[in-house]
């Protein structure tokens, strides 16, 4: 393959990519809602919990699967990486909603009775049939 043909192929590819970018520039996609914005508020025993979309996802998932799960599965449910989910879980643990249990090979999470009540309240509000 000659230098000239290689150069022509590169120019064609650049034109194709420029056309694609032009189309994408004209398309206006809606901005997704902020992940950390409170979307639900639950009051249990005089304490109010302001919950983001990720808090709600984790609580409802734990509620539906029996109250326990491993970190890797929760990161899939929350739609983020394990480090961010671990920070979220530590925050929820400080609120008393769940317990984080660390072993040498895994990190597990257990829903506390208060967390179960919050998850039940959320589940009743939005009437989830299946997850």
Residue 101 has pLDDT above 50, yes or no: yes
Give long-range contacts, CB 8 A cutoff, 24+ apart: 35-43.
Answer: 35/80, 40/122, 40/125, 42/118, 42/121, 42/122
Q: Quick one: 54 and 115 in the same domain?
A: yes
Average pLDDT over residues 5-21: 79
Q: Quick one: 98 and 67 in the same domain?
A: yes
Q: Quick one: 17 and 73 in the same domain?
A: no
pLDDT tens, residue by residue, 86-98: 888 999 999 999 9
Domain of 14 in residue numbering reads as: 1-30
Q: Quick one: 26 and 43 in the same domain?
A: no
User: Mean pLDDT over all residues of the chain?
Assistant: 82
> Per the confidence metrics, is the pTM higher than 0.85?
no
Is 131 within the bounds of a domain? no
Is 56 within the bounds of a domain? yes
């Amino acid at each position: 393959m000659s230098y000239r043909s290689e150069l022509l192929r590169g120019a064609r590819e650049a034109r194709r990519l420029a056309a694609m970018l032009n189309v994408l520039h004209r398309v206006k996609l809606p901005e997704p809602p902020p992940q950390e914005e409170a979307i639900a508020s639950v009051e249990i025993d005089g304490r109010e919990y302001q919950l983001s979309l990720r808090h709600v996802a984790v609580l409802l998932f734990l509620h539906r699967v029996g109250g326990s799960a491993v970190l890797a599965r929760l990161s899939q449910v929350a739609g983020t990486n394990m480090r961010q989910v671990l920070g979220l879980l530590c925050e929820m643990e400080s609120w008393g909603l769940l317990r984080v249990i660390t072993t040498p090979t895994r990190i597990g999470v257990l829903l506390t009775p208060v967390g179960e009540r919050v998850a039940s309240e959320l589940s009743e509000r939005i009437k989830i049939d299946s997850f």
